[in-house]
Amino acid sequence: MVRGLMRLLGVGAVLLGTLGASVIPSQEARAAAIPRCHTGGLYIALVPNSGQGATGHLDVVFSVRSLTQQPCFLYGYPGIQLINASGHVIVTHVLWGTGFFFTNRPKEQVVLKTGQIAYFDVGWTHLPTPGQSCPTSAYLLITPPDEWTPIVVPATLQQICGGVVSASPISTSSAP
């Protein structure tokens, strides 16, 4: 009887140990439990005095602040649509990845808690090729990664030749 009870307790301990190990989530599972950030829980703004320029190229930095009560994550590139002072769409071509002031910045999963900030750069050329127009924006419609709804951001970006802008991935660093 004692041997039977010991075997039963031994099997129970093995089962409990196995069940206990499977109940504790892995780091990957915990990361997956953090939801993606949605447009309604974010505030995007042009970072004051973030502009820089050289050899016909300009660059500015935008901040993305979480307004949610729970952590959320961003991964990838923002969508960008230029808008003029009359509220009309400017033909916009967004190049994701390399810009003059930011090269080969890798995409990273950025987890934001309430009030925390992430960043991305937007760069463009302001010297036109023959026949090319260089409009000035008054606003940008910025769509967070994997979202459909943009955020209207006041931003006067001057002389965006051909409406072509480069965007860096969302990052924890504000440095280009």
3-state secondary structure the chain: CHHHHHHHHHHHHHHHHHHHHHHCCCHHHHHHHCCECCHHHEEEEECCCCCEEECCEEEEEEEEEECCCCCEEECCCCEEEEECCCCCEECCEEEECCCCCCCCCCCCCEEECCCCEEEEEEEEECCCCCCCCCCCCCEEEEECCCCCCCEEEECCCCCCHHHEEEECCCECCCCC
pLDDT band at 17; cut points 50, 70, 90: very low
pLDDT band at 1; cut points 50, 70, 90: very low
pLDDT of 126: 74
Burial class for 111, CB neighbours closer than 10 Å (0-12, 13-18, 19+)? middle
Read off the pLDDT of residues 152-175 as tens digits, 9 standing for 90 and up: 999 998 888 888 888 999 998 765
Selected residue with higher pLDDT from 101 and 136: 136
Read off the pLDDT of residues 26-70 as tens digits, 9 standing for 90 and up: 445 455 689 999 999 999 999 877 665 556 666 788 999 999 999
Percent of the chain with pLDDT over 90: 45
What is the pTM for the complete model shown? Answer: 0.77
Q: Which CATH architecture has domain 39-167?
A: Sandwich (2.60)
Read off the pLDDT of residues 119-139 as tens digits, 9 standing for 90 and up: 998 888 777 788 888 899 999
pLDDT of 92: 92
Domain ranges of the chain: 2-33, 39-167
